[in-house]
Amino acid sequence: MAFTIRFRVWDKQEKEFTQKGFSLTLDGKLLKFGQPISNEDNYVVNTFTGLKDKYDKDLYEEDIIEHTVAKGGNLTQHTGVIRYNNEHGAFYLENGPPLLQLFSIRKVGNPYENPVLYDLYLKSKS
């Protein structure tokens, strides 16, 4: 059974997500049309979590989401950012419960296309 790692690439100069021509090596190096990239700092790679929100939108690392948490018979709304933990090999919600314990997830945006939203999120944490 083949397993495909899905990802998106944020081009800092063009200010857009793309996947055209990009691939990743096994050690995580970014290639464009099979060639090493000399200016790798111009790109940000976000890995697909394998999850979708309630509107069937793919959820990627660093996406900002709103979600409902059920705790003690109560439902509460939270906003968080999806992160990846290399040590545990798992995605998690920054300052929140494990992603698999969430329901009613709604993708709000990401820090690249929505920097103001991301700033508001950071301010709400402090």
Q: What is the token pair recorded at 15?
A: 């200010």
Can you give the pLDDT at residue 88? 83
Q: Could you read off the pLDDT of 14-58 as tens digits, one per residue? A: 999 988 899 998 888 899 999 999 898 999 999 999 989 999 999
CA 37, CA 35: separation in Å to the nearest integer?
6
Contact 44, 15 (CB under 8 A): no
Mean pLDDT of 64-70: 85
Contact 63, 47 (CB under 8 A): no
DSSP of 53-100 = -TTS-EEETT-EEEEEEEETTEEEEEEEEEEEETTTTEEEETTS--GG
In a domain, 1, yes or no: no
In a domain, 49, yes or no: yes
In a domain, 67, yes or no: yes
pTM, 2 dp? 0.83
Q: How many domains does the chain have?
A: 1
In a domain, 69, yes or no: yes
* Range of the structural domain that residue 60 is part of: 7-125
CA 69, CA 75: separation in Å to the nearest integer?
6
